[in-house]
Structure 1
Amino acid sequence: MKLSNFQKKVLRKIGFYIADIAVNILLKTCKIKIHKREIINDLILRKQNFIVAFWHGYMMIGWYLHRNLNCAALVSRSKDGELLAHVLKKWGYKVIRGSSHIGGNEAMENIVELLKQKNNLVITPDGPTGPIYKMKAGAVVAAKKTQVPLILTGICSNKKINLKSWDKFEIPLPFSKINVLYSEPIYISNTLTYDETSRLIQDCENKLNNLQEDVRKLCLS
């Protein structure tokens, strides 16, 4: 059944009111195991802010895990982005609107400013439109400009639904087991050349894909 524009507006309005509540209820039923949690905890204890990056398809869990941790988030200016921005604000995020396609330069300036003010950043480096599992420059460039460590994050649910979207968006089923795996902090020199930075972006992409494969194995064990 094809929805009318009015029906879409009604559903979006309902989503504004119940999305964060629904996700909270769902994920509270799940058993979440965080591997290498001490990496984030140590940075927090040292009052060192950080950038967390995970693939777009796992953002439901990724955003939830880092709520109320003095985090900023980059969200597209699309209508779907409006709903996500609303949820993230409920979770204590400072929301920056923009993407690599629209408002990218302004968004990067805002990201750098917030990082310099000791906020953390949570970002989906293949968002908002893909291609899937291909890292765009934002996370690495922000870490390079601010000397804030980058933490790559693999996420997996043992029981889930994957939507037929470009990012294969993952929704964990109630009472599923979720594994989260952090990388070691990646510190990026601000003296890197353009070519060196491009190679590092590719290296981080490979590391995040390997991390995602490692966490999938943890889900099966």
Structure 2
Amino acid sequence: MKKLLRDILRSSFLQRAVGVLAAEYLRLVWKTNRFSREPQNIYDLVEPSMPAILVFWHGQHFMTPFIKTKPEYRAKVLISRHRDGEFNALAVERLGIGTIRGSGDHGSAFHRKGGVGAFKEMVRALDEGYNVALTADVPKRARVAGLGVIMLARESGRPIMPFAMATSRFIRLKNWDRTTINLPFGRGTLVGIKEIHVPPDADAATMERLRQDVEDTLNEANRIAYAMVGRPEAGGAAAHQQPRQVARQEAHHG
């Protein structure tokens, strides 16, 4: 029975169905929330720097495919090779975003999880004019930026653009990254603060300083985004530092 259930969950038909449903649900959320931008002219400001490396916090990233508002904003996103990643990959591809399959820094598992190949593919995509999007967190350590995005910026020569998207209505899970499931029929916002550039000759101290800058900028962008939709994040960034067990869901309604 367990084998049958596992085979069903891994079937391409179910994965494709879930991917399609997820994409169409996110499209509904996008269309039924009144989105604002901070700053208002954010696209005019960032367009000259494209292609760029767009980074978000894990669990706060579901609405990010809709940053791609123009056909000329070509984009690819890094998605895990884990089977759960199949649903995400199918969903973002349906929303017009390309995918790069692999994982971030998993220590000794980096090679096995496709990290090296994915890194090279991201560098190549940036060189070909694609914006590349990925989460900045160290795996299983929410709101702690890893050095991977800094290494990518140093190697590619492209700027890092930390962003946050939030909606006034959401469900937040009490898991390790406090995953936020955005809900329709509310207000939303997109916040970007600044670009972060990594010199090609950056040494270890410089990379650590810029890693901290990415972390601080993402936290500030998220703080502003949730404040703009009237849902300040309880506990701030510190509330996200320790892993949590999955618990009951919290529903927020606006």
Are 1:24 and 2:27 counterparts? yes
Contact 1:37–1:182 (CA<8 Å) still a contact in 2?
no
Q: 1:9 to 1:98 in 2, by over 3 A?
A: closer
3-state SS of the aligned residue for 2:60?
helix
Tell me what 2:117 maps to: 106
Gapped regions of structure 1 (runs ≥ 5): none
Contact 2:75 2:131 in 1 (8 A): yes
Aligned to 1:34, the other structure's residue is in SS state strand
Equivalent residue runs for 1:141-220 within 5 Å = 141-220=151-230
Following superposition, the deviation at residue 133 of structure 1 comes to: 0.8
TM-score, normalised by the number of residues in structure 1:
0.88
The 1:112–1:9 alpha-carbon spacing in structure 2 relative to 1, beyond 3 Å, is closer
* Equivalent residue, structure 2, for 1:63: 65
Deviation at 1:37, TM superposition (A): 4.8
For residue 129 of structure 2, what is the amino acid of its counterpart? K
* 1:60 counterpart SS class: coil
* Greater helix fraction, Structure 1 or Structure 2: 1
Judged with a 3 Å threshold, the aligned counterparts in structure 2 of structure 1 residues 15 and 52 are, in CA distance, closer, same or farther, namely same
Q: After superposing the two structures, state which structure 1 stretch, 30-39 or 200-209, moved more.
A: 30-39
Q: Provide the secondary structure at the position in 1 that maps to 2:62.
A: helix
CA deviation after TM superposition for structure 1 residue 63, in Å: 2.5
Inter-partner Cα distance in structure 1 for 2:97 and 2:22: 15
Is contact 2:196-2:210 (8 Å) kept? no
Unaligned regions of 5+ residues in structure 2, if any? 107-112, 232-254
Give 1:148 shift.
1.1
Task: Describe the SS at the equivalent of 1:58.
Answer: coil
Q: What's the CA shift for 1:70?
A: 0.3
CA RMSD of aligned residues (A): 2.3
Cα distance, 1:207 vs structure 2: 1.8
% identical aligned pairs: 24
SS at match of 2:211: helix
CA displacement, residues 51-91 of structure 1 (integer Å, 9 cap, x when unaligned)? 11111111111223336520111000011111111111122
SS in 2 for 1:73: strand
Number of equivalenced pairs: 218
1:48-87 maps to which residues of 2 (within 5 A)?
A: 48-66=50-68, 68=71, 69-87=73-91
Runs (4+) off by over 6 Å: none
Mean Cα deviation higher: 11-20 or 98-107: 11-20
Contact 2:52 2:161 in 1 (8 A): yes
Quickly say closer, same or farther: Cα 1:148–1:38, change in 2 above 3 A: farther
For residues 54 and 39 of structure 2, what CA distance do their matches in structure 1 show? 14
CA shift for structure 1 position 39: 3.5
Q: Secondary structure of 2:41's partner?
A: helix
Check conservation: 2:16, 2:90, Cα contact below 8 A: no
